[in-house]
Amino acid sequence: MRLRPGPRALWFVRHGQSEGNVLRDAAEADELDRVELPTRDADVPLSELGTQQAQAFGRWLAGSPASERPTVVLASPYLRALQTAAHLGAAAAEQGVLLPEIEVDERLRDREMGVWDTLTWRGILATDPQEAERARRTGRYYHRPPGGESWADLVLRLRSLLAELVAGRAAERVLLVSHDVPIQLCRSLLEGTGEADVVRLITGTRYVNCGLSSFEAEDDRYRMTAYNEVVPGDPRHPEELQWPQSPAPRPS
């Protein structure tokens, strides 16, 4: 079921590159079973590049028309998201633009992986082959790692957040700083897409750090105006941002 408009605009931004992203990429490249994080997942900070990405986003936001800037800023409680929101706000302030105070909402947090936390897929197959087989049978959307969450679980908490925004923030432009899968699932709620299209979208798209997806209220629906876009001034080179993108899912 597609979510009907409430706020005038919903802008979703993934956190900047985190130290966890760097370590996971290295673990995958080295074919390791586990990502050795120095902290719990919720306390993983931004990398230096991630800080620069957030600052670039804030400078770009400060240069946008005043009528398009956020009037509400919500963020996941995870450190990498909070730091992203803080850095982009500070960078905007340096340009003379003050953004609203950050409001923390735990429903924007990343997916909880339970006993699979820090494991690569190679590690999951090595340490928990029976559960890996159950995941294959159940499918990506509904499988819940022991002690963790399924994508459907995320949809339930995100639906409650968006419903509150629809009911209580109708005149606002809301910037939400979150994580890749929650942002993709919010898109599915706004567009009313079904399981197959959601799986195709998430598995076929690498959602970039500090990538923007924006939706503007229009009649009885939200119109997507940007998807997984990097703002001008981002410190990455264009070739670093090239990968196959999945087609937009059709409403079902």
Give the pLDDT confidence of 57-114 residue by residue, as tens digits. 999 999 999 999 999 999 999 999 999 999 999 999 999 999 999 999 999 999 999 9
Range 207-246 burial, b when 16+ CB lie within 10 A, else e? bbbbbbbbbbbeeebbeeeebbebbeebebeeeeeeeeee
At residue 95, φ and ψ (nearest 5 deg) are: -95, 10
Asked if 13 contacts 84 with a C-beta cutoff of 8 angstroms, the reply is yes
For the chain, the domains span 9-18+39-116+129-241
Cα separation, 230 vs 215, in Å, equals 16
CATH 3.40.50.1240, applies to 9-18+39-116+129-241: yes
The H-assigned helical ranges of 95-241 are 121-127, 129-138, 151-168, 180-191, 195-204
Segment 15-69, tens digit of pLDDT: 999 999 999 999 999 999 999 999 999 999 999 999 999 999 999 999 999 999 9
